Chain A
Amino acid sequence: MMNQTVVNVKDIHKVFGKRSENQYHALNGVTFDIKAGEFVGIMGPSGAGKTTLLNVISTLDKPTDGTIEIAGTNITSMKQRQLADFRSEQLGFIFQDFNLLENLTIYENIALPLSLQGVPSRKIKPSVVEVAKKLGIETILEKYPVTVSGGQKQRAAAARALVHEPAIILADEPTGALDSKSAKSLMEAMVHLNENHDVSIMMVTHDPLSASYCERILFIHDGALYKEIHRNGSRSEFHHQILDVLADFAE
């Protein structure tokens, strides 16, 4: 299980703009793997290509060149309709601005991916309650998103990303809209999911503190892999290590 590859990104390029116009190379041959059960962070300064990378991996955008395999499937050659199905089965999303549907209760939001896959109603409830317990939000299930705190919303979004047991969770600045306390507790919840439930996570962030919860961090600079660091010691040591790399960027 541990050595199985969930994400395999091979030499991907992404070019914006037509050939005749001013072209912008957002990604310049990025290559890396994510193994099952890994918690990987992607960092880099603004404009480095983090979001583009996340978009192509999450199948929302297509790379100009190169291949991406997720759970053994090459997603770069799939059609729109297949991609939609692939996303709903294999990927779980957590966005910075939560992206919960405010016209549904927290319970309904979490249940939605299962409903969409045609899971019968009687099987939905146990799954939703179980995943809500993992994230400590079982008491707010009947509430609407507007009535709960930002931290709770993000946990709900994490629960929704997790409920259908995807191959990998893709998180885009999940702590970006949270206060430090909520951010800390969300990261702890994600580590808990990763360590105790073998959930693979890829997280894009520019917050060093949040990143320090990861096992491995890929730094991207000008559309290419710049550096890769692994966590060996404590979290605070790793935090310092991250800050050092970021300081390199500044120079």
Chain B
Amino acid sequence: MLLKLSFSSMRKRFKDYLVLLFGLTISIAIFYMFETLAQNKTFIEANGMISSIVFVFHVGTFILGAITIFYIFYATSFMLTLRQKEMGMYMTLGAKKHKITQLMFFETFFIGLISLLVGLIVGFGLAKGIAELFMWQLDFNGEGFQAFYLSSIITTVIFYVILFLLTSIVNAWKISRKSVLSLLHAEQKQDFVKTKGSKTFFGVLFAIILIGIGYYAMINIAKLMQAGVILAAVTIIIGTYLIFIAFLPYFVKKLKQNRTLNEKGINSFTLGQLRFRMLNLTKVLGTVAMLVALGLGAMTAGISFYHNIEKQASAFHANDVIIHQPSKEDTEALAEMNVTEKNVYHYKIDDQGIYFLKKDLTDNPPLIKYSKETFELPETTRVSQALPKDKYVLGQNDNIASLPEFWTTAISMEINASYQQFGAKDVYVYGSAGYQEIDATEQQVILATVDDFTDYLPQLKTINTNQLKLAETYREETVENIGTKYSNYVAFKAVASGTIFMGFFLGVAFLMMMASVLMFKLLSSAAADTHRYSMLRKIGVRKSLLVKSIYRELFLLFLFPALVGLVHVIVGMQMFSFIIIEPYTKIWIPISIFIIIYGIYYWVTVQMYKRIVLPKEV
């Protein structure tokens, strides 16, 4: 009988339950979506640029899991507030306490299971849709990615069933501890928290110290490695929550104490509302800040990987173009480019070795990349070492002098007289006399730099294809990479698009989670605000002023977590500085994407909130 009653009343409050179901479903869908990537080890390892990418995903799962636990506990306690008055009614009518406890347990669990089912389906759809969109955008085949991934389904189900069991027990336990009267009057009770000065001070201090440690760990990630990632994750999460728990309420309180500001128009109400809300929203705002940081961070990392490709490719090569034994097609392609420097070197090649003419090299010494310290970024310099002897060899040889360091770099890297290009051959530099004696056809190699490497990808591809064919004639096998700047670029790009794909995938997942968290929280508390707005309307506040107040209040609520999240991202990008040469290149792209999504989301929330709280006019 009670079960029947509870179902019918759940149907009646369908709108409230829809909010709850929506919130839970999104959470489950995103968790599942994340896990389809995180657990697909073969895909991650095949497509990630970082060896520890699997570990990064484990940390991501941990963070998402932690946030989800917060979120689910909050959502189910919202359900308790929806139901407690009615449960109190049943009890006054004579229902036994253990019956009510049971009912609460099953209701929570039932809602959980429904959302789990729907969430998995939505998650599958999202994973598939978003993956396909990005793969298409990035021209990335994404082999091995599966939107329907069994192990992820199992993990999601286990994780959420345990979570729902726990929250059902908590809800049942909470309701069993309350008296009938407190249940009946639950809606009238107001919780009011006051921030004490000393507590605030220590809270803020502690938050700053924790975030400081986290930032330090992220900046020095090269030294601290995985321990640093864990340290940063833990300290920054706690620090962020503390900022919102201790500092923000204090900040709004200070704003309110400014009389001229507070007593202007409807400000006192807006600020009062904000302050009131802040105390209940601290955890949610902290969560949103973390999600903004994660989502934006993932996208920023993805985009910097993309823009890093060219920089990475040019770390080893000072020259953009290298053409051995140029064909007509090659020279035509070269002519289409805006060449800034061009050098031609002659050499002879036979079965045993490659012989370079010293005069060519010393007359026009090539540019090379050179780094003084092992971990420093190589800089472009021109070879200036003298070559006084007649004959040099690359590497060690008892009879002939070894080629000096810079020349070795020039010939093996820039001129690419390497195994990749020519197979196993010795490389010599001969003076004119010695060079003349070599009985082999003379060849030439062109080195050139251009104004913008990425502008000439089609021409470079033509040249590269010809060079590959040349390498195949020498090596008598299929060659895919000859180690030039262009082939490095192509190889890096192939790998990076996997990472970018993951970055965007995760970024979208986290931003959507954020959207759902904020929306859920605002909608679930909006009904309680209705009477305040109707009262203001009664005493004669213009509707336009109320609307303005809503816009402002929600703007500030959206602004704080966005700012904190943004700072986290900007510092957090340091984590990638050991694999990305300039992590901040084009950071405005992900930031603008984020601002647009966030802005739209803010606007939608305001509209929905307005619809709930503003009284209907006669």
**Residue numbers in B under 8 Å from A89 (CB-CB):** 540
| Closest A residue to B262 using CB positions | A108
Interface flag for B618 (CB, 8 Å): yes
Q: Which of A81, A93, A124, A147 contacts B263 (CB 8 A)?
A: A124
Asked if A84 meets B537 with Cβ closer than 8 Å, knowing A62-B618, A101-B272, the reply is: yes
Asked if A104 meets B272 with Cβ closer than 8 Å, knowing A121-B259, A121-B264, the reply is: yes
| Closest A residue to B194 using CB positions | A144
**Residue numbers in A under 8 Å from B532 (CB-CB):** 101, 103
Contact B540 A84 (CB under 8 A): yes
Contact B540 A88 (CB under 8 A): yes
Contact B539 A87 (CB under 8 A): yes
Contact B273 A103 (CB under 8 A): yes
**Interface 9-mer from B308-316, B417-425, B541-549:** B541-549
Interface flag for A118 (CB, 8 Å): yes
Asked if A144 meets B617 with Cβ closer than 8 Å, knowing A60-B538, A108-B262, A115-B263, the reply is: no
Asked if A112 meets B259 with Cβ closer than 8 Å, knowing A84-B543, A85-B540, A86-B540, the reply is: no
**Residue numbers in A under 8 Å from B260 (CB-CB):** 121
Q: Which of B275, B538, B542 contacts A103 (CB 8 A)?
A: B275
Q: How large is the interface on B (under 10, 10 to 19, 20 to 34, 35 or more residues)?
A: 20 to 34
Name A87-136 residues within 8 Å CB distance of B: 87-89, 91, 93, 95, 99, 101-104, 108, 111-116, 118, 121, 124-125
Contact A108 B272 (CB under 8 A): yes
Name B369-423 residues within 8 Å CB distance of A: none
Asked if A115 meets B543 with Cβ closer than 8 Å, knowing A61-B618, A87-B538, the reply is: no
Interface flag for A20 (CB, 8 Å): no
User: How many whole Å from B484's CB to the nearest CB in chain A?
Assistant: 68
| Closest A residue to B267 using CB positions | A115
Interface flag for B588 (CB, 8 Å): no
| Closest A residue to B264 using CB positions | A115
Contact A108 B541 (CB under 8 A): no
Interface flag for A80 (CB, 8 Å): yes
Mark B511-551 against chain A: 1 for CB-CB distance below 8 A, else 0.
Answer: 00000000000000000000110011111111111000000
- A108 vs B262: C-alpha distance when bound (angstroms): 9
**Residue numbers in B under 8 Å from A229 (CB-CB):** none
Contact B272 A103 (CB under 8 A): yes
| Closest A residue to B539 using CB positions | A93
Contact B545 A116 (CB under 8 A): yes
**Residue numbers in A under 8 Å from B265 (CB-CB):** 115-116, 118
User: How many whole Å from B186's CB to the nearest CB in chain A?
Assistant: 15
Asked if A88 meets B539 with Cβ closer than 8 Å, knowing A61-B618, A115-B267, the reply is: yes
- A58 vs B268: C-alpha distance when bound (angstroms): 24
Interface flag for A243 (CB, 8 Å): no
**Residue numbers in A under 8 Å from B273 (CB-CB):** 103
**Residue numbers in B under 8 Å from A103 (CB-CB):** 269, 272-273, 275-276, 532
- A83 vs B543: C-alpha distance when bound (angstroms): 11
Contact B192 A93 (CB under 8 A): no
- 11 pairs, CB–CB < 8 Å, chain A vs chain B: A81-B544, A83-B540, A84-B542, A99-B531, A101-B269, A102-B276, A104-B268, A108-B272, A111-B263, A118-B264, A121-B263
Residues of chain B whose beta carbon lies under 8 Å from any beta carbon of chain A? 190, 192, 259-260, 262-269, 272-273, 275-276, 531-532, 535-545, 617-618
In the A-B complex, list the 9 residue pairs whose CB atoms are closest, starting with the nearest: A88-B540, A87-B540, A103-B276, A103-B272, A121-B263, A104-B272, A99-B535, A84-B542, A121-B260
List 4 additional A-B contacts (Cβ < 8 Å) besides A81-B543, A146-B190. A101-B269, A103-B275, A113-B540, A121-B262
